[in-house]
Structure 1
Amino acid sequence: MNWGKKDEIEQKLRNFRLHNPNVQFVRILLVGEVGAGKSSFINSVNNAFQRRITSRALVDGTGGTSFTKVYKTHYIEGEDGSPLPFVLNDIMGIEATQSGAHEKDIIKALHGFLEEGYKLNPAFPVSPNDPGYRSNPALEDQTFCLVNIIAADKVSLMHNEVIVKLKKIRQAATDLNIPQVVVMTRPDFACPLVKDKLQKIYTSKKIKEKMQESSNLLGIPMNHIFPVKNYHEEINTNDDMDLLILTALDQIVHIAADELKGRPVTSSFHTE
């Protein structure tokens, strides 16, 4: 990790362009257990670009059940005020109980069947007759990269039911040829060395162990696992935190763009 390259990677992302006339944005879907840091990662990405603390994705500081209740698209504002050509989609967190997101709803989101603002009901996954169901999603509505958000300090404590749901979602994404990555949050809670000095994140044996554990859990290769520290208590942005966040996003965006290139121009999912 070259810790002096934050501005370079930021500019690379600002200059990123798509070359598909039917797609304005590559869609990146974030999934994870309640409290893993999905919404915080979205805010952290926005912080890095705006160079200030933001709160577009609402975050619950008390923990417990999922604070995100609807399927929501988050745009990143460029220097000219227009959105950058990649979007992050947030969805209700996964729980071992029946109060979290139903994996069938997340799989529907992969296809593009969920409309913006659809309110998830953990007890009843969306059906074609429901308001908020998009029966014929366009190419731009579909997901081009699935991002699993896993907390480094909690990976060993994840409930088996949560793991089963994540694996079902991963299998559905694999069936659709959607690439998958892991963004591993809370490294400072998993390793005292990293808490003391963030630049030790890629030399920490503990963090490497947690990355390997995440890889074994979901079958995602190590080079598709990106440790980051989300903004949580900071009141100003930090270059080292931004570099990790932007490096992860740069990889994710280009993985998603590569998947878009492989799709037919008229690609659309008509079946469930």
Structure 2
Amino acid sequence: VIAGHLQDDLQYVKDFQPQNEKLKHIRVLLYGPVGAGKSSFISSVSSTLRGRIATPALASTTTSNQSFTKKYKTHKIPKEVSGKYYPFVFNDIMGLEEGTGVRVEDVKLALKGHVKEGYTFNPVSSLSPSDSHYITQPSPEDRIHVLVCVCSANAAEIKESVLQKMKEIREEASDLDIPQLAIVTKIDEACGEIEKDLKNVYLSKHVKNKVNFSSQLGIPLNCSLPVKNYSHEINTNEDVDTLILSALKMMIDFD
């Protein structure tokens, strides 16, 4: 992994504009099991682009078996010029769990742009058209443009019921022609060799197996990328940034 490659990707992201000129921004939705690192990934993207550790998407360090994200929230990343934002936004949603967590119906509504900012996910009932958080006529910007499955390399096998929910979401996105990819987080926690040196990421069999997992969902291998989120670091790091930017570039490239 070369610093030059990092600079190219960084410049690409900084210059990026959606191909569809009517869109102010591309909306990327992150979904996956509880504790996979969805919120941390958003914070890591912000840190990488700003060149300093930032925490805009609150992540919980203690409740990895429960979903910390309860509301539907759009995360924008500020540019260096004050008042300007990057032309892509992230939405993360309550994690998928066995018997509880976010409802598949709500994720499907979000894909189509029916879910308003601030909606609190209810594991018991889905958003209904009579609710004030339901967008009856979504604009192109309300809709999801890219769907990203987030899995942890350090987690146990995903339960069959959660896997089923993920497949349902994926199938709905396919029907809507929404491009999809997967990111595998916490690669350093899963493999000692990577923890010593992040450059070993593509040599790790364990990470390879986890990346292969996405093919169970029908996401091609070349659309599954390993990343390490910033968690305890005080400063940004080129190797971490390189993986984050590779994933981000692929997300916005789907536009």
SS of the residue 2:111 aligns to = helix
Q: C-alpha deviations, 1:160-210, integer Å up to 9, x for none?
A: 111010000001001101111001101112221111110010122222122
Structure 1: runs of 5 or more not aligned: 258-272
Q: What secondary structure, in the 3-state scheme, does the structure 2 residue paired with 1:201 have?
A: helix
- Work out the CA distance in 2 between the residues paired with 1:210 and 1:179: 21
Query: Could you say if the C-alpha distance between residues 19 and 167 of structure 1 is closer, same or farther in structure 2, counting changes exceeding 3 Å?
Result: closer
Q: Which runs of 4+ in 1 moved over 6 A?
A: none
Task: Tell whether 2:218 aligns with 1:197.
Answer: no
Deviates more, 1:41-50 or 1:76-85: 76-85
Q: TM-score, normalised on structure 2? A: 0.96
What CA distance in whole angstroms lies between the structure 2 residues aligned with 1:78 and 1:38? 21
Give the superposition deviation at 1:116: 0.9
Alignment of 1:117-196 (within 5 A): 117-154=118-155, 156-196=156-196
- Structure 2 CA distance, aligned partners of 1:174 and 1:80? 37
5+ residue gaps, structure 2: none
- The amino acid across from 1:112 in the alignment is G
TM-score of the pair, normalised by structure 1? 0.90
Q: Report % sequence identity.
A: 43
Aligned positions, number: 253
Q: How does 1:88-103 map to 2 (within 5 A)?
A: 88-98=90-100, 100-103=101-104
Amino acid at match of 2:180: Q
Q: Distance in 1 between matches of 2:165 and 2:3?
A: 36
Q: Shift of the alpha carbon at 1:219?
A: 1.2
Q: What is the CA RMSD across the aligned residues, in angstroms?
A: 1.2
Deviation at 1:19, TM superposition (A): 4.1
What is the aligned partner in structure 2 of residue 266 from structure 1?
none
What are the within-5 Å matches in structure 2 for residues 22-33 of structure 1? 22-33=22-33
Paired residue for 1:240? 239
Q: Alpha-carbon deviation of 1:91?
A: 1.1
Q: Supply the distance in 1 between the matched residues of 2:66 and 2:141 (Cα, whole angstroms).
A: 30
Task: Give the distance between the partners of 1:203 and 1:159, measured in 2 at CA.
Answer: 27
Deviation, 1:3, is: 4.6
